[in-house]
Amino acid sequence: MTPELISQIAKAYPRGTIYERDDAVLANEKRDARINAVLKHCGQECDLSWDVSLFDTPAYKIAITQRAHPEFKRWIWQMGNSDKIAWINHNGGPYPVFWLNISRIADYYYYYYNHWTPRGDTGYLEADFRQPANAEWLNYEMLIRDQLTKAGFQYFTDDLCTERTPFVVESDYDSIPDDDPCWKDVGFEPPLVPSTLHECLFGH
């Protein structure tokens, strides 16, 4: 953890707990402009569209899809399962989504894929995160990463993801079994433990 990253996290959580974030720190017009420039360049180069969400987290969650496919919001909110399955069958493959997460606290990002596929013959779908990207999307990924690097963003590695911060803490609910009698005590509070860098920079 670099001194700069320590400073950025400390400013975002001045009270030292993950639950008391200073959201004023998240506003950064210059960072937003760099992100927009990357999205516009990649969108034009690869014919991609994107949808940006926050979900009350310290990071932008950006769903990137192909313009030739249904828009992400339409896919999620307007198309029923039968329409989605019909589209997948007609397309001859899944509906891929490239999820790009960019922290609003420090210049870090990570990404993963969802491939929407039918769940057998159940009439339902699942957003498969295990399926690897095809060659076309690997080329898009390479361009996106290259543009993010040029814009000053760093990839958030697995090692950084699990690193803990001694100066920001969170409640360790996972350490207490669900059947532990302590949960019956309305005043019980789990022990505090250092938060992970992922929690600090990206939230849940």
> For the chain, what percent of residues have pLDDT higher than 70?
100
Average predicted confidence (pLDDT) for the chain: 93
Integer Cα distance of 8 and 75 in angstroms: 36
The pLDDT, as a whole number, for residue 9 is 96
Q: How far apart are the first and last CA of the chain?
A: 20
Measured N-to-C along each axis, helices 29-46 and 135-150 cross at an angle, to the nearest 10 degrees, of: 150
Q: How far apart are CA 146 and CA 134, in angstroms?
A: 18
Contact 94, 88 (CB under 8 A): yes
Q: What is the pTM of this model?
A: 0.91
Number of domains in the chain: 1
Distance, in Å, from the CA atom of 184 to the CA atom of 187, rounded to the nearest integer, reads 9
- pLDDT, one tens digit per residue, over 39-53 is 999 999 999 999 998
Residue 73's pLDDT is what? 94
**CA 191 to CA 138: how far, in whole Å?**
43
User: Which residue range(s) make up the domain with 49?
Assistant: 3-202
For residue 176, pLDDT beyond 90 = no
Q: For residue range 136-146, what is the model confidence (pLDDT) as tens digits?
A: 999 999 999 99
pLDDT for position 177: 78
